[in-house]
Amino acid sequence: MNRLLFILISLVALSACQLDRRKGNPADDVDIKVFRYDRLQFEATELNSLLAWQRMSTEWSHATRLLIEDVLELGSVDQPDINGRFCTFFSDSILVRLMEDAGMKFKDMTPVEKELTKGFRKLKKEIPSLRIPRVYSQIAALNQSVVVTDSLLGFSLDKYMGADYLLYKKFYYSYQRRFMSPERIVPDCFAFYLLGQYPFSWEEGHRALFDIMMHRGKIAWIVEHIFGENKSGAFALGYTDEELKWCRSHGKDLWKWMSDSNHLMSTDPMIIRSYISSNPGFVFAGQQLPPSFGIWIGMQLVEKWMKSHEDMSVAQLLEKTDFREMLAPSN
């Protein structure tokens, strides 16, 4: 009898400890599971499954509306013939092949789920009020790689089939294909998620190249921070060792050239695109700039700033929109 009483008391105490731990660390409860919306798509279109379409229209109605109306632009989900339109669209031989190939390549989402869980747990610890989204995978017909709302985060498997995927060579340049590998899913998800939660403000007087590359730079910095990376750009930006070496060797000279050329305060879309996009348009020191070089510069300035402002939290950094003080001589 005494032994039974001891076991019961121990179990109650253990349960209480676990409950207190969950209350004290809500981030520990974060456990990301990727819903295979792409399989519903396949079943609804290729297998003509009415049940799959009903689940898309009820359980995942928001994701379905986002895909049909905003990504694919097939019309309104409320139109009576939208199911037929959707199935006809995905009956295209290229899309059928994409769905089949993606299903084969991404049979197991466990590695992605582990990394997403790791990242969102870290973010939740940094920002307790952060809303953790429902995460799903889809086929977007080679449109957006990642879609984000206030409660959803979806990534398109057909945009991450690998740089050597044969079908990509018909539609994409090599500089684009290098960022279409499975390894880019996790950093892209966090970058787009944070950009969605903390969008660029486009305020008058704060919409120059410098403002944009600092905003994008802080997002990239945080993505590397939550995964314990060294803020080099290898993880968030997908830089190679050679590109990192080039950036470190020419960064200061290029910064001076950007400043002397009045590029930093430029609002010219062509100039901004040349520094931010994955296909830079400038050549410096006999070599084309690495992709998104302006974001890399922003990352380095944020890294320097955070080292000298150790009391600034990630939450405070995300809320920061005026970066001009970082240009002061003392910084």
For the chain, the first-to-last Cα distance in angstroms comes to 71
Q: What is the Cα–Cα distance from 317 to 10, expressed in whole angstroms?
A: 44
Return the closest-CA partner of residue 137 out of 106, 171, 101, 104: 106
User: Are β-strands 134-138 and 146-148 bridged in parallel, bridged antiparallel, or unpaired?
Assistant: unpaired
* Ranges of residues in the chain whose predicted pLDDT is under 50: 1-22, 330
Asked whether the beta carbons of 227 and 305 are under 8 A apart, the reply is: no
Q: What pLDDT, on the 0 to 100 scale, is given for residue 328?
A: 62
pLDDT of 4 reads 43
* pLDDT per residue as tens digits for the range 54-63: 999 999 999 9
Q: Say what the pLDDT of residue 16 is.
A: 47
Domain residue extents for the chain:
34-197, 209-327
Given a contact cutoff of 8 angstroms between Cβ atoms, the answer to whether 100 and 90 are in contact is no
Q: Please state the φ and ψ torsions of residue 91, each to the nearest 5 degrees.
A: -85, -5
Q: Could you tell me if 35 and 133 are in contact, meaning their C-beta atoms sit under 8 angstroms apart?
A: no
121/321 Cα distance (integer angstroms)? 25
CA 167 to chain CA centroid, nearest Å: 23
d(CA 65, CA 69): 6
Q: pTM of this prediction?
A: 0.89
Backbone Cα Rg of the chain: 23
The alpha carbon of 236 is separated from its chain's Cα centroid by a whole number of angstroms, namely 9
**Residue 300 backbone dihedrals phi, psi, to 5 degrees:** -70, -35
Phi, psi of 208 (to 5 degrees): -85, 175
Give the per-residue pLDDT at 287. Answer: 82
Amino acid at site 284: F
Residue 288 has a pLDDT of: 83
